Amino acid sequence: MRAVHHLTLPRALHPGAWWLWALGLAVAASRTRNPVLLVLILAVAGFVVAARRSDAPWANSYVAFLKLGLVVIGLRIVLQALLSTRSQGNTVLFTLPQIPLPDWANGVKLGGEVTAEALLTALYDGGQLAVMLCCIGAANALASPRRLLKSLPGALYEMGVACVVALTFAPQLVTDARRIRGARRLRGRTRGSFRTTAMPVLEGALDRSVELAAAMDSRGYGRTAQVPRRQRRITGGSVLLGLLGIALGVYSLLTDAMAFPVAAAALTIGLLLAVAAMAVGRQRVTRTRYRPDPWALPEWLVTAAGAAAAATMIVAAARGVNGLVLAGPLVVPPVPVVPVIGLLIGLAPAFAAPPLTRRVELVPA
């Protein structure tokens, strides 16, 4: 008898699947101000990040976005306490010193009575924005920015470089801050000023920019194939119209500014124009790919989980399901069953996505 070692190699999920899942949760958060549902979305995103994040430097972005969300909630509450009026509620909690304002600022106050209704309204509004930010933080923590850039269509490569650099700013900022704090602790310095922290971070950002420019230049970035001018104009116009249709459709679906069939038609037409323009525009790009990331069953399951969560909340909001919008700030938040089930589907990536750890199985011969 001898033991045979079976090694299961891990496979990183396609970064586009993580972003689609996270955007689905963000759309679901935009449809409700119920604190129970918002906390559930936050827990779903945090559980998936804890289950499937890697050891990469950007994997700690979720905690940074959590802190940013707390800052957003705090600022929203402070501004609401300073600028709220008595018309927002009658349950006075305390009174701040009021600063008299000139006549041209009639209707605006600074200080005075602070009501419980105003503070709870600010808490729910700020919580909604904070949860949406945390969903974006989950995508930053799970998806590799470099692999995301490699997976973009050829027609969007130039614009994708700018987007990926912007998206990697927050994770890299967290990494630099941790590195600086660790170096300071090794030198026996437990406290540091803003200057001693900000200057190394800015210097690191400048060095990375120079290195990125040198790497792009050495790889021939910006080379394009020759295509007719008419084709370039048609492609550019199709991309512009497609993006306008997508923006109009998404805005209408999120804000109910248009009827659902009209918004869905605008979104569909915009997607078709954008896809057609990208298919034509990729002829200008001569860049090749080495080992492109596969899009298999796990990617479809992760994307479907985010889409199911978003679709459930959108349909529930369209049908006026009780519990998405509270009847008043002092009302006990209800727990609607159907939206909760739809949001729990968002936990599927924690089990459907392939693990990143190596597993060894011992099988007797």
For residues 13 and 10, the model is more confident at 13
pLDDT at 40: 94
For residues 206 and 302, the model is more confident at 302
The winner for highest mean pLDDT among 214-223, 243-252, 301-310 is 301-310
- Structure token pair of residue 294: 């596969």
Kindly tell me the sign of the dihedral angle through the C-alpha atoms of 23, 25, 28, 32.
Answer: negative
pLDDT at 359: 43
Whole-number Å distance between alpha carbons of 17 and 139: 9
Out of 74-83, 113-122, 179-188, pick the least confident: 179-188
Q: Give 4's pLDDT tier (boundaries 50, 70, 90).
A: very low
For residues 84 and 358, the model is more confident at 84
pLDDT at 41: 94
Q: Give 94's pLDDT tier (boundaries 50, 70, 90).
A: confident
Out of 54-63, 149-158, 273-282, 319-328, pick the least confident: 149-158
Whole-number Å distance between alpha carbons of 174 and 57: 8
Whole-number Å distance between alpha carbons of 302 and 52: 12
Query: Residue 350 pLDDT more than 80?
Result: yes
Q: Give 37's pLDDT tier (boundaries 50, 70, 90).
A: very high
pLDDT at 341: 92
- The b/e string for 160-185 (b: 16+ C-beta within 10 A; e otherwise) is beeebeebbebbbebbbeeebeeebe
pTM of the model: 0.71
Query: Residue 354 pLDDT more than 90?
Result: no
For residues 223 and 271, the model is more confident at 271
pLDDT at 152: 66
Query: Residue 195 pLDDT more than 70?
Result: no
Out of 106-110, 178-182, 332-336, 340-344, pick the least confident: 106-110
pLDDT in tens, 289-339: 666 777 888 889 999 999 999 999 988 888 888 888 887 778 888 888 889
pLDDT at 167: 59
For residues 171 and 101, the model is more confident at 101
